[in-house]
Amino acid sequence: MSEPLLHDCQDRSIGRWIERRTRVRRVFGLKFDVKVEQRVSKVMVRAFLLQRGMATVVASGVELLRQQKVALRTVMKRNLRNFPLELRQEEDIAIQNHVLSADWFKQSNSLCAYLSCASLREVDTNQIVASVLQKSDPEMAKELYVPRVLDREANMAMLHVSSTADLTTNSMGIVEPDFTDSDGKPRKSVLEATEPVDLLLLPGLIFDRSGRRCGRGGGYYDVFLQKYLQLVKDKNWKQPLLVAIAYSVQVVEDPVPVGETDIPVDALVLSSGVLPISPFAQKHMNISQI
Protein backbone atom coordinates (compact mmCIF):
# COMPACT_ATOMS: atom_id res chain seq x y z
CA MET A 1 0.00 0.00 0.00
CA SER A 2 1.36 3.44 -0.94
CA GLU A 3 2.04 5.97 1.80
CA PRO A 4 -0.74 8.46 0.75
CA LEU A 5 -3.28 5.62 0.53
CA LEU A 6 -2.18 4.30 3.92
CA HIS A 7 -2.55 7.74 5.49
CA ASP A 8 -6.02 8.15 3.94
CA CYS A 9 -7.11 4.81 5.40
CA GLN A 10 -5.82 5.82 8.83
CA ASP A 11 -7.63 9.18 8.62
CA ARG A 12 -10.90 7.41 7.81
CA SER A 13 -10.33 4.94 10.65
CA ILE A 14 -10.19 7.81 13.15
CA GLY A 15 -13.40 9.25 11.71
CA ARG A 16 -15.20 5.89 11.99
CA TRP A 17 -14.01 5.52 15.61
CA ILE A 18 -15.53 8.89 16.53
CA GLU A 19 -18.79 8.04 14.74
CA ARG A 20 -19.08 4.69 16.55
CA ARG A 21 -18.52 6.32 19.95
CA THR A 22 -21.23 8.90 19.19
CA ARG A 23 -23.72 6.27 17.93
CA VAL A 24 -23.22 3.98 20.94
CA ARG A 25 -23.75 6.82 23.40
CA ARG A 26 -26.99 7.88 21.69
CA VAL A 27 -28.42 4.32 21.46
CA PHE A 28 -27.86 3.60 25.13
CA GLY A 29 -28.90 7.04 26.28
CA LEU A 30 -25.48 7.87 27.63
CA LYS A 31 -24.64 11.43 28.38
CA PHE A 32 -23.11 12.97 25.30
CA ASP A 33 -20.67 15.82 25.87
CA VAL A 34 -19.78 17.34 22.51
CA LYS A 35 -16.87 19.33 23.91
CA VAL A 36 -15.36 16.29 25.60
CA GLU A 37 -15.72 14.20 22.45
CA GLN A 38 -14.17 16.95 20.37
CA ARG A 39 -11.22 17.20 22.75
CA VAL A 40 -10.72 13.42 22.66
CA SER A 41 -10.87 13.37 18.88
CA LYS A 42 -8.42 16.28 18.62
CA VAL A 43 -5.96 14.50 20.90
CA MET A 44 -6.24 11.36 18.78
CA VAL A 45 -5.77 13.31 15.57
CA ARG A 46 -2.76 15.17 16.97
CA ALA A 47 -1.21 11.88 18.12
CA PHE A 48 -1.82 10.33 14.73
CA LEU A 49 -0.40 13.31 12.85
CA LEU A 50 2.64 13.38 15.12
CA GLN A 51 3.20 9.67 14.57
CA ARG A 52 2.75 10.06 10.83
CA GLY A 53 5.05 13.07 10.75
CA MET A 54 7.77 11.25 12.67
CA ALA A 55 7.42 8.23 10.38
CA THR A 56 7.73 10.50 7.35
CA VAL A 57 10.86 12.14 8.76
CA VAL A 58 12.42 8.75 9.50
CA ALA A 59 11.47 7.43 6.07
CA SER A 60 12.86 10.50 4.32
CA GLY A 61 16.06 10.25 6.37
CA VAL A 62 16.51 6.60 5.44
CA GLU A 63 15.91 7.37 1.78
CA LEU A 64 18.38 10.27 1.86
CA LEU A 65 21.02 8.00 3.43
CA ARG A 66 20.38 5.37 0.77
CA GLN A 67 20.77 7.92 -2.02
CA GLN A 68 23.99 9.28 -0.52
CA LYS A 69 25.46 5.79 -0.30
CA VAL A 70 24.43 4.93 -3.86
CA ALA A 71 26.08 8.09 -5.18
CA LEU A 72 29.23 7.52 -3.15
CA ARG A 73 29.48 3.88 -4.25
CA THR A 74 29.15 4.91 -7.89
CA VAL A 75 32.04 7.35 -7.59
CA MET A 76 34.25 4.93 -5.67
CA LYS A 77 33.69 2.06 -8.09
CA ARG A 78 34.73 4.36 -10.92
CA ASN A 79 37.83 5.41 -8.95
CA LEU A 80 38.78 1.77 -8.42
CA ARG A 81 38.32 0.98 -12.11
CA ASN A 82 40.66 3.86 -12.93
CA PHE A 83 43.20 2.85 -10.27
CA PRO A 84 46.23 1.52 -12.24
CA LEU A 85 46.87 -2.20 -11.90
CA GLU A 86 50.55 -1.63 -11.11
CA LEU A 87 49.73 0.66 -8.19
CA ARG A 88 47.08 -1.74 -6.97
CA GLN A 89 49.55 -4.61 -6.93
CA GLU A 90 52.12 -2.47 -5.09
CA GLU A 91 49.56 -1.58 -2.44
CA ASP A 92 48.44 -5.22 -2.19
CA ILE A 93 51.96 -6.24 -1.22
CA ALA A 94 52.52 -3.32 1.15
CA ILE A 95 49.19 -3.76 2.95
CA GLN A 96 49.62 -7.50 3.48
CA ASN A 97 53.17 -6.98 4.71
CA HIS A 98 51.91 -4.45 7.26
CA VAL A 99 49.39 -6.98 8.53
CA LEU A 100 51.76 -9.96 8.62
CA SER A 101 54.54 -8.06 10.39
CA ALA A 102 52.30 -6.48 13.04
CA ASP A 103 52.53 -7.69 16.64
CA TRP A 104 48.75 -7.48 17.04
CA PHE A 105 48.44 -9.92 14.15
CA LYS A 106 51.18 -12.28 15.28
CA GLN A 107 49.76 -12.40 18.81
CA SER A 108 46.28 -13.33 17.63
CA ASN A 109 45.28 -16.99 17.84
CA SER A 110 42.20 -16.91 15.65
CA LEU A 111 40.59 -14.61 13.13
CA CYS A 112 37.90 -14.10 10.53
CA ALA A 113 39.19 -12.86 7.19
CA TYR A 114 37.58 -12.15 3.86
CA LEU A 115 38.73 -13.90 0.68
CA SER A 116 39.57 -11.23 -1.87
CA CYS A 117 37.88 -11.03 -5.26
CA ALA A 118 39.97 -9.49 -8.03
CA SER A 119 36.95 -8.58 -10.17
CA LEU A 120 35.62 -6.46 -7.29
CA ARG A 121 39.06 -4.85 -6.94
CA GLU A 122 39.31 -5.79 -3.28
CA VAL A 123 42.67 -5.64 -1.53
CA ASP A 124 44.38 -9.00 -2.01
CA THR A 125 44.36 -11.29 1.04
CA ASN A 126 45.92 -14.40 -0.55
CA GLN A 127 49.27 -13.96 1.18
CA ILE A 128 47.60 -13.46 4.56
CA VAL A 129 45.38 -16.53 4.15
CA ALA A 130 48.28 -18.72 3.00
CA SER A 131 50.46 -17.59 5.92
CA VAL A 132 47.72 -18.33 8.44
CA LEU A 133 47.02 -21.80 7.03
CA GLN A 134 50.64 -22.97 6.80
CA LYS A 135 51.87 -25.20 9.62
CA SER A 136 55.61 -24.54 9.62
CA ASP A 137 55.62 -21.24 11.53
CA PRO A 138 53.68 -21.46 14.83
CA GLU A 139 53.67 -17.67 15.19
CA MET A 140 51.76 -17.26 11.95
CA ALA A 141 49.51 -20.34 12.10
CA LYS A 142 46.02 -19.48 13.37
CA GLU A 143 42.46 -20.71 13.47
CA LEU A 144 40.79 -19.19 10.42
CA TYR A 145 37.14 -18.54 9.54
CA VAL A 146 36.21 -17.31 6.06
CA PRO A 147 32.87 -16.15 4.58
CA ARG A 148 30.27 -18.16 2.71
CA VAL A 149 27.16 -16.37 1.47
CA LEU A 150 23.99 -18.24 2.44
CA ASP A 151 21.26 -16.35 0.57
CA ARG A 152 20.27 -13.01 -0.91
CA GLU A 153 18.88 -11.76 2.40
CA ALA A 154 22.29 -10.61 3.71
CA ASN A 155 22.92 -13.85 5.61
CA MET A 156 26.51 -15.03 5.62
CA ALA A 157 28.39 -17.71 7.57
CA MET A 158 32.00 -17.58 8.68
CA LEU A 159 33.21 -21.17 8.36
CA HIS A 160 36.37 -22.77 9.73
CA VAL A 161 39.02 -23.88 7.22
CA SER A 162 42.36 -25.56 7.88
CA SER A 163 43.86 -25.67 4.39
CA THR A 164 43.71 -23.86 1.07
CA ALA A 165 42.33 -27.14 -0.29
CA ASP A 166 39.15 -26.33 1.67
CA LEU A 167 38.50 -23.41 -0.68
CA THR A 168 36.76 -23.53 -4.04
CA THR A 169 35.88 -20.96 -6.71
CA ASN A 170 32.19 -20.66 -7.54
CA SER A 171 30.60 -19.84 -10.90
CA MET A 172 30.90 -16.10 -10.19
CA GLY A 173 34.65 -16.34 -9.61
CA ILE A 174 34.33 -15.90 -5.85
CA VAL A 175 36.50 -18.06 -3.60
CA GLU A 176 34.60 -19.64 -0.73
CA PRO A 177 34.70 -22.67 1.58
CA ASP A 178 32.63 -25.80 1.06
CA PHE A 179 29.90 -26.36 3.63
CA THR A 180 31.46 -29.70 4.56
CA ASP A 181 35.04 -30.77 5.22
CA SER A 182 36.97 -33.60 3.54
CA ASP A 183 35.25 -36.10 5.87
CA GLY A 184 31.81 -34.88 4.89
CA LYS A 185 31.21 -33.22 8.24
CA PRO A 186 29.65 -29.73 8.45
CA ARG A 187 32.22 -27.01 8.92
CA LYS A 188 32.18 -25.18 12.23
CA SER A 189 30.67 -21.71 12.13
CA VAL A 190 32.27 -18.94 14.14
CA LEU A 191 28.81 -18.26 15.59
CA GLU A 192 28.91 -21.78 17.07
CA ALA A 193 32.50 -21.62 18.32
CA THR A 194 33.24 -22.13 22.00
CA GLU A 195 35.95 -19.45 22.04
CA PRO A 196 36.09 -15.95 20.57
CA VAL A 197 38.25 -14.83 17.68
CA ASP A 198 40.85 -12.15 18.32
CA LEU A 199 40.65 -10.35 15.01
CA LEU A 200 38.37 -9.67 12.06
CA LEU A 201 39.91 -8.55 8.77
CA LEU A 202 37.13 -6.75 6.90
CA PRO A 203 36.60 -5.54 3.35
CA GLY A 204 34.68 -2.46 2.35
CA LEU A 205 34.25 0.02 -0.45
CA ILE A 206 34.64 3.39 1.25
CA PHE A 207 36.18 4.47 4.55
CA ASP A 208 36.99 7.66 6.38
CA ARG A 209 39.66 8.27 9.00
CA SER A 210 37.12 8.06 11.81
CA GLY A 211 36.47 4.39 11.04
CA ARG A 212 33.16 4.80 9.24
CA ARG A 213 32.70 2.06 6.66
CA CYS A 214 30.45 1.76 3.62
CA GLY A 215 30.22 -1.64 1.95
CA ARG A 216 28.95 -2.59 -1.47
CA GLY A 217 25.28 -2.51 -0.49
CA GLY A 218 24.54 -6.16 0.23
CA GLY A 219 24.59 -5.73 4.00
CA TYR A 220 26.27 -9.10 4.60
CA TYR A 221 29.03 -7.84 6.86
CA ASP A 222 26.70 -5.47 8.71
CA VAL A 223 24.38 -8.36 9.59
CA PHE A 224 27.24 -10.71 10.47
CA LEU A 225 28.97 -8.14 12.69
CA GLN A 226 25.75 -7.42 14.56
CA LYS A 227 25.27 -11.13 15.23
CA TYR A 228 28.85 -11.79 16.23
CA LEU A 229 29.23 -8.75 18.47
CA GLN A 230 25.96 -9.66 20.19
CA LEU A 231 27.34 -13.18 20.75
CA VAL A 232 30.50 -11.68 22.24
CA LYS A 233 28.38 -9.59 24.59
CA ASP A 234 26.14 -12.52 25.57
CA LYS A 235 29.13 -14.79 26.24
CA ASN A 236 31.05 -12.04 28.01
CA TRP A 237 33.98 -12.68 25.68
CA LYS A 238 36.79 -10.27 24.96
CA GLN A 239 36.15 -7.75 22.22
CA PRO A 240 37.65 -8.63 18.81
CA LEU A 241 39.73 -6.11 16.91
CA LEU A 242 37.86 -4.94 13.79
CA VAL A 243 40.45 -4.10 11.14
CA ALA A 244 39.66 -3.06 7.57
CA ILE A 245 42.21 -3.12 4.79
CA ALA A 246 41.86 -0.68 1.91
CA TYR A 247 43.58 0.96 -1.02
CA SER A 248 44.58 4.59 -0.63
CA VAL A 249 41.85 5.71 -3.06
CA GLN A 250 39.17 4.13 -0.86
CA VAL A 251 39.74 6.53 2.04
CA VAL A 252 37.83 9.81 1.77
CA GLU A 253 38.28 13.03 3.69
CA ASP A 254 34.60 13.82 4.22
CA PRO A 255 32.59 11.74 6.72
CA VAL A 256 31.12 8.60 5.18
CA PRO A 257 27.29 8.61 5.55
CA VAL A 258 26.26 5.82 7.91
CA GLY A 259 23.10 4.55 9.59
CA GLU A 260 22.33 2.92 12.91
CA THR A 261 23.26 -0.55 11.67
CA ASP A 262 26.64 0.49 10.24
CA ILE A 263 29.43 -0.64 12.57
CA PRO A 264 32.69 1.34 12.49
CA VAL A 265 36.07 -0.35 12.33
CA ASP A 266 38.75 -0.06 15.00
CA ALA A 267 41.61 0.42 12.56
CA LEU A 268 42.55 0.75 8.91
CA VAL A 269 45.54 -0.83 7.19
CA LEU A 270 46.71 1.13 4.16
CA SER A 271 49.80 0.90 1.99
CA SER A 272 51.25 3.77 4.04
CA GLY A 273 50.82 1.90 7.33
CA VAL A 274 48.36 1.07 10.09
CA LEU A 275 45.87 3.68 11.28
CA PRO A 276 44.51 2.83 14.76
CA ILE A 277 41.24 4.71 15.23
CA SER A 278 39.27 3.57 18.27
CA PRO A 279 40.70 3.78 21.81
CA PHE A 280 40.56 -0.04 21.81
CA ALA A 281 42.82 -0.19 18.74
CA GLN A 282 45.18 2.49 20.04
CA LYS A 283 45.61 0.50 23.24
CA HIS A 284 46.07 -2.93 21.68
CA MET A 285 48.05 -1.95 18.59
CA ASN A 286 50.44 0.23 20.57
CA ILE A 287 51.40 2.34 17.56
CA SER A 288 51.02 5.99 16.67
CA GLN A 289 48.66 7.16 13.95
CA ILE A 290 49.99 7.57 10.41
- What is the rounded distance in angstroms from the CA atom of residue 256 to the CA atom of residue 271? 20
Residues 187, 161: contact at Cβ < 8 Å?
A: yes
What's the mean pLDDT in 240-256?
97
Q: Are residues 155 and 242 located together in one domain of the fold?
A: yes
Q: Which of 3-7, 144-148, 239-243 has the lowest mean pLDDT?
A: 3-7
Say whether both 198 and 274 belong to one domain. Answer: yes
Q: In sequence order, which residues have a C-beta less than 8 Å from that of residue 214 and are 6 or more positions away? A: 69, 72, 73, 204, 205, 206, 207, 256, 257, 258, 262
Structural domain count of the chain: 2
Please give the residue that has the higher pLDDT: either 66 or 30: 66
Q: 124 and 12, same structural domain?
A: no
Domain that holds residue 23: 3-76
Same domain? For 68 and 96 the reply is: no
Same domain, 243 and 280: yes
97 and 212 belong to one structural domain? yes
- Checking if the pLDDT of 265 tops 50, the result is yes
Question: Over 80: is that where the pLDDT of 200 sits?
Answer: yes
Predicted pLDDT of residue 1:
45
Report which secondary-structure segment, H or E, holds 154. Answer: none
Are 220 and 111 in a shared domain?
yes
Task: Tell whether 68 is covered by a domain.
Answer: yes
pLDDT of residue 67: 92
- Domain for residue 219, yes or no? yes
Residue at 290 is within a domain = no
Asked if residue 15 and residue 144 are part of one domain, the reply reads no
Mean pLDDT over residues 50-55, rounded? 52
Q: Which of 31, 56, 76 is the last residue of a domain?
A: 76
In a domain, 146, yes or no: yes
Residue where a domain stops, chosen among 76, 111, 127: 76
- Give the mean pLDDT of 223-227: 97
Model confidence at 205: pLDDT above 90: yes
Higher-pLDDT residue of 188, 289: 188
pLDDT of the residue at 119: 92
**Do residue 96 and residue 194 come from a single domain?**
yes
For residue 156, what pLDDT band results from cuts at 50, 70 and 90?
very high
| Each residue's pLDDT tens digit, 95-132 | 999 999 999 999 999 999 999 999 999 999 999 999 99
Express each pLDDT in 126-149 by its tens digit. 999 999 999 888 888 999 999 999
CATH for 114: 3.40.50.10420
- pLDDT band of residue 183 (cuts 50, 70, 90) is confident
**Could you tell me which residue, 141 or 243, shows the higher pLDDT?**
243
Task: pLDDT band for 288, please (50, 70, 90 cuts).
Answer: low
Name the residue with higher pLDDT: 269 or 18.
269
**Averaged pLDDT, 41-65:** 59
What are the residues facing 268 on neighbouring strands?
244, 275
Domain boundary among 76, 104, 120: 76
Per-residue confidence band for 5, with pLDDT thresholds at 50, 70 and 90? very low
CA distance linking residue 266 with residue 242, whole number of Å = 5
